[in-house]
Amino acid sequence: MPIRRYLVLMLLSIITLVIFVSAIQGYKASMRKAESVFDNELVSLAQVITAVKLPKGVITHPATSNFSYQIVLDNQVVTRSDNAPNTLINTLNTGFKEANFLGKRWRTYTDKITDNSATNAWVIIAQPLKQRFDLAEDIILSAVTPIILVMPLLALIISLAVRQGLKPLTFLTRALKNKKANDLSPLTVSSSTELAPVIETLNELFLRLSLSFEREKQFASDAAHELRTPLSVLKINVYNLQQSFNDVILVDSDQNSTALSVLPFQQLEQSVERMAHVVDQILTLNRTNPEQILAESAVLNLQELLQECISELYPYIASRGHDIELNSAPLNILGNRFAIGILLKNLIANAAKYTPDNGKILVSCLQEKNKLILRVEDSGPGIAPEEYSRVFDRFYRVGGDSHNSKVIGCGLGLSIVKHIVELHQANISLSRSKALFGLCVKVVFSMADSNSGATINGNKLPSSPAKGDY
């Protein structure tokens, strides 16, 4: 629950509870006061009746009269009001009592008449208790009703007061929401005394994160760049050493000895190639960071990117004798051009590397509702279903480093692909290809709005599908 709503509801609940308790206490106090006032009134009325010589019999009063009385002489009712019974209302004992007659509950006062003409005369005065309750309720309602009526205004005032009090927190929330993923600059919002330590702590956290990201990026970049130079020199030296060794052994007529001597050079060359591949992949992974992805996103034509990637990889694909087919439409996604290019290259290169010579690769891209489905399928041996989740782990290769295919790799390709997929809020899954019976990699992107022919940056993007083979 939002803090503002919680505070408003809590304050209103407390005020309502206090008003309710006050009303109960006020009702009790009003009842005590009404009882005292009405009892004094009964006593005064009894004194007036005893001082006046009333005729014997029934005395008629208005129907709305709130009093009833009897004058008793020698235990006989000699004078009464027309709303009093013929029998005694109560026992003849001086004081206050309660009685029931005429379907009501009455408060009675009995007093002895002490004049010289009557030695055993009494007066009984009665008043309905309901009158006392009505008076107490009227007093309480008169006091509480204005408060109840003003409660909506009170709620509005409390809400405005809470809103004003929480305004520094609102400013802080807005400042944090407006921050981009790559913005780790300190917060400069004005704050209250209570929020100052929070903002100071957040700024310290931003500073530590910024320094940590910078160190990580610098380390990966420096390490990869520094390794490239010695690796290039090492490759040249391995080549020169192999050429020199070949010149020396030309005079050797032992073919088996020559083959055994060349094998270590081949293994060394493969190791150097693998190290160079690892360095390139680390550099690629370092460049596909969230800050760069978010800062350089644009509407991309996936068909054009696929054509570019296949053109770039085609020399290697042709050297393996593979037949590659592109089945796509000019569909658009919102993403980073460099990162999506790396994703496509890794998927197509993996299909080419792990598919036996003279195999087939099928790349398809189609639209399903508001989703764009990219599939890269091959006729290779595929991956066992139990390995599907593990191949996305960094540096993990099916079969270990000495992969059965003898293909140079480091286990970072699919990890980079998944990283890019997650940055673009897409989904990736592996399965067995129904068309080529090898591995099928499926990536699901959200469509860009431009596919309906919308204008992006002043350019109308294509919306009519086209289908063909590459």
More confident residue, 145 or 445: 445
Q: What secondary structure, in 3-state letters, does the chain show?
A: CCHHHHHHHHHHHHHHHHHHHHHHHHHHHHHHHHHHHHHHHHHHHHHHHHHCCCCCEEECCCCCCCCEEEEEECCEEEEEECCCCCCCCCCCCCEEEEEEECCEEEEEEEEEECCCCCCCEEEEEEEEHHHHHHHHHHHHHHHHHHHHHCHHHHHHHHHHHHHHHCHHHHHHHHHHHHCCCCCCCCCCCCCCCCCHHHHHHHHHHHHHHHHHHHHHHHHHHHHHHHHHHHHHHHHHHHHHHHHHHHHHHHHCCCHHHHHHHHHHHHHHHHHHHHHHHHHHHHHHHHHCCHHHHHHCEEEEEHHHHHHHHHHHHHHHHHHCCCEEEEEECCCEEEEEHHHHHHHHHHHHHHHHHHCCCCCEEEEEEEEECCEEEEEEEECCCCCCHHHCCHHHCCCCCCCCCCCCCCCCCCCCHHHHHHHHHHHCCCEEEEEECCCCCCEEEEEEEEECHHHHCCEECCEECCCCCCCCCC
Q: Please report, for residues 33, 75, 121, 390, the alpha-carbon distance to residue 116 in angstroms, rounded to integers and kept in the order given.
A: 36, 18, 10, 118
Average pLDDT over all residues of the chain: 77
CB atoms within 10 A of CB 419: 21
Alpha-carbon distance of 78 to 90, in angstroms, equals 15
The pLDDT of residue 454 is above 50: no
Q: What is the mean pLDDT of residues 43-59?
A: 73
What are the pLDDT digits (tens) for 304-339? 999 999 998 999 899 999 999 999 888 888 888 888
Q: Inter-axis angle of helices 413-423 and 255-287, to 10 degrees? A: 10
What are the pLDDT digits (tens) for 255-278? 555 454 555 666 677 677 767 766
Alpha-carbon distance of 49 to 122, in angstroms, equals 10
Which residue is listed with tokens 């505070």? 7
The pLDDT of residue 459 is above 50: no
Whole-number pLDDT of residue 287 = 62
What are the pLDDT digits (tens) for 184-223? 788 877 767 777 888 888 888 888 888 887 777 777 667 6
Alpha-carbon distance of 421 to 93, in angstroms, equals 99
At residue 216, what is the residue type?
Answer: E
CA geometry: angle at 112 spanning 109 and 114, to 5°?
Answer: 145
Superfamily of domain 292-460: Histidine kinase-like ATPase, C-terminal domain (3.30.565.10)
Which residue is listed with tokens 């709303």? 83
State if pTM tops 0.85: no
More confident residue, 281 or 148: 148
Alpha-carbon distance of 62 to 81, in angstroms, equals 10
